[in-house]
Amino acid sequence: MAKLNMVKALNLALLEEMERDPDVLTIGEDVGVDGGVFRVTEDLHRRFGSRRVIDTPLAEAAIIGCSVGMAIYGLKPICEIQFSGFAFQCFHQIENHAARYRQRTQGRFHCQMVVRMPYGGGVRALEHHSESEEQFYAHIPGLKMVIPSGPRTARALLTAAIRDPDPVIFFEHKGLYHAAKEEVPDESEAMPIGRAQIAQEGSRLTLIAYGAMLRVALEAAETLQAEDGVTPEVIDLLTISPLDRETLVASVAKTGRAVVVHEAPLSFGPGAEIAASIMDGAFLSLEAPIRRVAAYDVPFVGFAREKASVPDVARVLAAARETLTF
């Protein structure tokens, strides 16, 4: 197996699916000759040409609107929005059209398309480049909301998203693009959308995270094991919607405690739905209140203070120890 970073793993998934299915294409600003703002689409234009790797003007609404039309026609577009903070220019196309066509046409038309968006802080970018707004898309019926945590899950989940008959919002954390290399199978691999993974087996506490926060949760778990003698169970959600409630409830029924970690703002964020799901399914097993570690309820603060805004290991440890000693 080759060792790839997340950019190369995503590029591999795009290459494999475009070779497998002539109806798959990619569209967005600079995805062609330049290979994408983060080079995820590098070399695809040379291989597949400008009819399947389509450069667009700076027009997010047009990217998604054209893709909805192509999807209804039978093509399978993969859209790239350069930063998730720019996606509100096309939000109405996603919410009013992409998400609704299956229901609107009583199943006669699907809208098979993927919208890839880099998201998240920690790379010293300006506002509109670092937000974590997955909660908006998770709230919309008709959409799936996927966030990989590393190269292997990125390749396997993007493959599954491209093959999914319904629209998938696919968030890629910028801080993970070059963070680490990981072995990726030589053969094409697809992971089921809507299933979480147990990243670390444990007891007494469940840490729940996704995207770049999985690395923070795993580092906190390592410190808890070394300094407190506690080995938490760590869950990598991978899909925010549909949420894998079964895995969450089973884990907390075993450990009795839970801390949820995400970069989205605290209020009305994914942690609230996760906590409610655990309360519904494992209330009698809980030995302490569920804690959430999240970004603060303010607009993203910009690079000068982003370290204070994005959840870190110290905040996760504080929440975990408070939960363990409740």
The catalytic residue positions are 129
Look up residue 204 and give its two tokens: 């007494």
User: What span, in angstroms and rounded, lies between the C-alpha atoms of 301 and 265?
Assistant: 12
Would you report the helix, strand and coil content of the chain in percent, each value rounded to 5? 40, 20, 40
What phi and psi, each to the nearest 5 degrees, are found at residue 43?
75, -5
Sign of CA dihedral 119, 124, 129, 134: positive
Q: Reading across the β-sheet that carries 233-236, which strands appear in turn?
A: 197-200, 233-236, 206-209, 258-265, 291-295
* Residue 217 near residue 246, CB atoms below 8 Å: no
Q: How many CB atoms lie within 10 A of CB 121?
A: 25
Q: Is 180 exposed, middle or buried (0-12, 13-18, 19+ CB in 10 A)?
A: exposed
User: What span, in angstroms and rounded, lies between the C-alpha atoms of 238 and 144?
Assistant: 11
Angle at 307 between CA 152 and CA 147, to 5 degrees: 25
Q: Which of 56, 55, 113, 64 is nearest to 87 (CA)?
A: 64
User: What span, in angstroms and rounded, lies between the C-alpha atoms of 201 and 191?
Assistant: 20
First to last CA, the chain: 45
